[in-house]
Structure 1
Amino acid sequence: MKPVPKPLPQQTIVITGATSGIGLATARLAAQQGAKLVLVSRDEAALQTLQHELSQQSSAQIIHVVADVGNRSDLEQVAKRAVERFGGFDTWINNAGTLVWGRLWEVSEADLRKVFETNFWGVVNGSLVAVEHFRRQGYGTLINLGSALSEAVAPLQGIYTASKHAVKAFTDALRIELRHDNAPIAITLIRPSSTNTPINDRAKNYLAHAPHLPGPTYAPEVVARAILRAAEYPQRDVYIGNSKLITRAAQLTPQLFDWVAVKTLFAAQQSKTLDTLQSDALYEPIDSGSVRGRNPGPMFRHSLYTHMSQQPSKTAVFASVAGLALYSGWRLIKTFKAD
């Protein structure tokens, strides 16, 4: 059965990692469009501030729940609160994530496990809690945050890359199992390219120099718009920016991709400045409340590819008109030459 989501202003949306980066951009945009929101984060103070901000700026109905996505029981409480306040929820967005920089053999086992606990088990926990509710409710949309690194890899982000590969595999398997049961639940994997969020500013760093994401980066709002579009018009995969190009390069030319990564990505992901910040939000939340980070280099505020891929009907009309115009121009030139 094909799911038919409600219009966004009629939806109740759960967002994990809602107090910074992509989650914060998504919460603000969803509130502007009138959706009811359940904001989730580890940071109580940041959640209270965000709820107050959004309530002042829009008429959206909003609650917040403090939760660590690595704990299933925390997310069960999120679902319970959503049901108590709004009678349920229509879309669940698994956005929370964390990052550690360093060569894999240098990162402690505890830190490796913590990244997976948040990035992978957070998605597993949120997905299964959401799906249990959706199966009872009879419909729903699940949106998981993957990455351009869901199939490609980046050195010095090894455990993050592994977690995003795992998220893709879990999401695909869950989709197939639900489809087999004819459950009217839509599942989308969002696959951003480098995005200028505060995740890098708060990442634990084992490198001597300050790390940064390889450019160009995209504004978090680009991803937020794609997420909310998928909440109304679900797609299997949504690629942001040059994410699909990176994915195809890794799939079709893996040896070349490895060679390019060895030659370019170590330098492209490290500045020449020693890392004096040494910030670390791996175990405790810090510096919430910002949409954008301090990543250097150019940042794109729009992705034409993503916009067109999420509106195939309009894209087809545009392509037809463009093709007709080119054909008419070609015929006109031939006519002038014949004369």
Structure 2
Amino acid sequence: MARHRGKLKLKPLREQVIVITGATSGIGLSTARAAAARGARLLLAARNGDALKDVCHDLRNRGADVAYCVTDVGDADHVRRLAEQAVERFGGFDTWVNNAGVSIFGDVTRVPLEDQRKLFDTNYWGVVHGSLTAVEHLRNRPAGGTVINVGSVLGDLAIPTQGAYSASKHAVRGFTNALRMELMEQKAPIAVTHIKPSAIDTPYKDHARNYTGHPVRNPAPIYATPLVAQAILYAAEHPVREMTVGGGGVLQTLAWSAWPHAMERALARFTPRMSTDRSGRKVVHSDNLHEAGQDLRERSYYPKVRETSLFSTVQMRPLATVGVAALAMAGVGAAYHLGRKRKRPTTLNAA
């Protein structure tokens, strides 16, 4: 294996080909729409062929150059075929987004192991298959490219009722970090980014297999789906190690790190209650764990969704943030010195 084949130079989105898995709902659909609006060429992947056709038809009507490939990311052969189609259709790709995911609500002691293994096939092995396939292609491109793995803040902490999902996202974090370090050592021109959304306003709760016996929801605060798409597309143009979407998830992670025992007691007590949907809606009995989902929804429109995130904005505008902080500190310093000057006693000359 060659130790170095080029220097990483990420292109503007309008010059990129982007592969997106899980592209027919939620974060993947939001990212596809946003990328198409900015001129990127797209290869979209999901298990539902009819839904993929509909998404592509819509984006083409808006002027996008887009293709699709029916893909189960848990199957390595499917993922290799996806990469081959990117080469055949577009001559290759610049960014690969591993976004496909499934979930289960229920105690890990009661969820059948067959379901937990299927969740890992998609959430963990899907990321592994996609990452390794993308790296094989990108290391041979003169300007390299980016692998973006969509994880979760639940890769930093765990919560009851979503134990299997939390475990899979912990695995994604470990794999992504190890892959990044190996590529650093090999001097491969590939950026590896880990995107960690907080609770997001996607159809996640409706697509999840539910063993709780009651309607479920993600605990608040909930952030708008396009915020994650913004972070993904920022990482496609800028080498970023990781980005967390939503300050609420950051605070939870910091609290977990500082007070793990207290946080475990609090989460054990309050999470099951906060994960129960008390809006009066019925339990959803369909899910996308073993079969493809049927809807084409980007959002679920939770009440009181946060449409902006200052923490996310700060990560995408680091220089501007530093400048604003410096100006603020300079202003505080000037005000402090001006205040001291005004408080100095006036000395009167004797007549």
Give TM-score scaled by structure 2 length: 0.93
Partner of 1:120: 124
Partner of 1:321: 327
Cα distance in 2, alignment partners of residues 258 and 294 from structure 1:
29
CA distance in structure 1 between the partners assigned to 2:281 and 2:212 by the alignment: 9
**Quick check: 1:24 aligned with 2:29?**
yes
Q: Quote the Cα distance in structure 2 between the aligned partners of 1:199 and 1:38.
A: 23
Structure index of larger Rg: 2
| Structure-1 residue corresponding to 2:299 | 292
- SS of 2:39's equivalent in the other structure is coil
The equivalent residue for 1:87 is 91
Deviation readout 1:98-133 (Å, 9 max, x if unpaired) = 011101121111111111011001101100110111
- Contact residue 208 and residue 274 of structure 1 kept, 8 A: no
Q: Percent identity between the aligned chains?
A: 42
Matches within 5 A, 1:173-188: 173-188=178-193
Are 2:48 and 2:294, in contact at CA under 8 Å, matched by a contact in 1? no
Partner of 2:256: 250
Distance in 2 separating the partners of 1:56 and 1:62? 10
Contact 2:159 2:268 in 1 (8 A): no
Partner of 2:277: 271
- 1:104 aligned to 2:86? no
Q: Could you tell me which of 298, 318, 337 is aligned with 1:331?
A: 337
Number of residue pairs aligned between Structure 1 and Structure 2 = 337
2:42 aligns with: 37
Taking only aligned residues, the RMSD between alpha carbons, in angstroms, comes to 1.5
Report SS of the residue matched to 2:138: helix
Give the distance between the partners of 1:168 and 1:276, measured in 2 at CA.
31
Instruction: Give per-residue Cα distances to partners, 1:39-73, cap 9 Å, x unaligned.
Output: 11111111111111111113x31111110010111
User: Aligned AA for 1:113?
Assistant: R
Q: Is the 8 A contact 1:215 1:298 kept in 2?
A: no
- Match of 1:293, SS state, is coil
Q: Tell me how far 1:276 sits from its aligned partner.
A: 3.1
Query: Could you say which residue in structure 1 is the equivalent of 2:196?
Result: 191
Q: Which runs of 5+ in 1 are unaligned?
A: none
Question: TM-score, normalization: structure 1?
Answer: 0.96
Deviations 1:9-56 (A, max 9, x none): 111000000010000110000000000101111111111111111111
1:137-152 aligned at under 5 Å gives the runs: 137-138=141-142, 139-152=144-157
User: C-alpha deviations, 1:155-189, integer Å up to 9, x for none?
Assistant: 00010000000000000111111111111110000
Q: d(CA) in 2 for partners of 1:82 and 1:92?
A: 10
Superposed, 1:225-264 pairs within 5 Å as 225-241=230-246, 242-264=248-270
Unaligned runs of 5+ in 2: 347-351
Q: Which stretch shows the higher mean deviation, 133-142 or 163-172? A: 133-142
2:169 matched to 1:164? yes
